[in-house]
Amino acid sequence: MIVSPDVGGVVRARSLARRLDADLAIIDKRRERAGVSEVMNIIGDVSGRDCIMVDDIVDSAGTLCNAAHALIADGANSVHAYVTHGVLSGGAVDRVEKSPLEEMVITDSIQPTDAVKASKKMRVLSIAPLLAEAITRVSEERSVSSLFD
């Protein structure tokens, strides 16, 4: 099951769920102030499901970790996260390590810190081949958008 960790990521999560022919769940959260979020509801039945959260950017990892706790409490079998840009400031890596997330996969669009590299729950994927192909296509006046079809 694909899970959007917030309402802002629903379009991304829905698109991925459609491509994978997977079900979709949405985390309804409330943010009282910057850096602090609370899960209010889970839209969708996650009971007995393996959940994959997708997000564009993660800074403190508070939202993802809170969502992982809520998904497990609601009966999910497992929770994984896939994130494009892992800022991971402050205690984010430690927060992920202590969370019910089984794994968080990030790209190297931001240089991974030593803490990220040492983490047992974090995996870094290189985007260098994608950028190289995009540069090649631009220089050869070929489509870049087709890389993402």
Structure tokens at 145: 């958008």
What does the alpha-carbon distance between residue 24 and residue 18 come to, in Å, rounded to a whole number? 9
**29 belongs to the catalytic site:** yes
For residue 111, the one-letter residue type is Q
- What's residue 148's pLDDT? 83
91 phi/psi in degrees, rounded to 5 = -95, 25
Quick check: 35 pLDDT over 80? no
Print the domain residue range for 123.
Answer: 2-148
Give the tens place of pLDDT for each residue, 45-99: 999 999 999 999 999 999 999 999 999 999 999 999 999 999 999 999 999 999 9
CATH number of the domain at 87, please: 3.40.50.2020
Count of domains forming the chain: 1
- What's residue 40's pLDDT? 74
pLDDT-wise least confident of 24-38, 73-87, 97-111: 24-38
What percent of the chain lies above the pLDDT cut of 70?
Answer: 93
Question: Nearest 5 degrees, angle CA 121-CA 95-CA 57?
Answer: 80
- What's residue 47's pLDDT? 98
Which residue is catalytic, options 29, 98, 120, 121?
A: 29
Which three-class secondary structure string do you get for the chain?
A: CEEECCHHHHHHHHHHHHHHCCCEEEEEEEEEECCEEEEEEEECCCCCCEEEEEEEEECCCHHHHHHHHHHHHCCCCEEEEEEEEECCCCCHHHHHHHCCCCEEEEECCCCCCHHHHHCCCEEEECCHHHHHHHHHHHHCCCCCHHHHC
Quick check: 29 pLDDT over 90? no
